[in-house]
Amino acid sequence: MAIHPTALVDPNASVAPSAEIGPYSIVGPEVEIGAGTRLLAHVYVEGPTRIGEDNIFYPYSTVGVASQDLKYKGERAETRIGNRNRIREFVTIHRGTQGGGLLTAIGDDNLLMAYVHVAHDVRIGNHTVLANGVTVGGHVEVGDWAVIGAFTGIHQFCRIGRHAMIGGYTVVTQDVLPFSLTVSERPAKVFGANRTGLERRCFPKETIEALQRALRILTRSGLNTSQAVERIRAEGPVCAEVEELLEFIRTSERGVIK
């Protein structure tokens, strides 16, 4: 393994032979770092933390540190990060707490840009992009392929649906619908399906149009949410993606942005 002479790696850490620990990085006990992962410089990692393969951590990022939650009393909690993630400068990732299952987890192929904050007990899926300065509150769930614009703040316990795109500087206090394009215009509104993102990911045209129709009914028909859901179902069979949209609404505990 390539460990810079200025780096400090605890003897109780497990570092794969092909991993790289750059200058002035600190790796604590109970940290596992997988093959091909690189800590470029000045990266700080506390355990228990498990990091997969081929990740890149840029300078001054911190991983696995104690939660800022005032209810956190030092209980043993973990951080898990998958494979092929890019963690940019000054990103902070906090470990879990007793109240959230003792785990903060990030999947595979994600990009966390500079100054992103990932709070305790957050679950981030795969292929997401969190732009500069995004703040993710505790217990938030971010679905696969979500794109979150710069300086967006996400309230604790909110969910971000799959393939959603959130515009920059948005304040998220309720669940964000999957497949939607959502942005704060004080207040936040849905502007239709995330058509460009869905096209890039090769969703069929018919599926995109079905989502657009469903979102139009939800947001522009003048109906309340329950009435809109009834109309969507009444207009005929729904595809799997529209069904996912409706199930997301049904299971929302905070209400959804419309």
The four Cα atoms 69, 118, 105, 11 give a dihedral, to 10 degrees, of -80
CB atoms within 10 A of CB 185: 9
138 assigned to active site: yes
Task: Out of 120, 127, 139, 163, pick the active-site residue.
Answer: 120
Task: Count the neighbouring beta carbons within 10 Å of the beta carbon of residue 187.
Answer: 9
Given a contact cutoff of 8 angstroms between Cβ atoms, the answer to whether 7 and 24 are in contact is: yes
Q: Is 155 an active-site residue?
A: no
Burial of residue 19 (number of CB atoms within 10 Å: 0-12, 13-18, 19+): buried
Say how many residues make up the chain. Answer: 258
Q: 34 catalytic, yes or no? A: no
Active site residue: 54, 69, 108, 121, which one?
Answer: 121
Helix (H, G, I), strand (E, B) or coil at 18: coil
Q: State the catalytic residues.
A: 120-121, 138
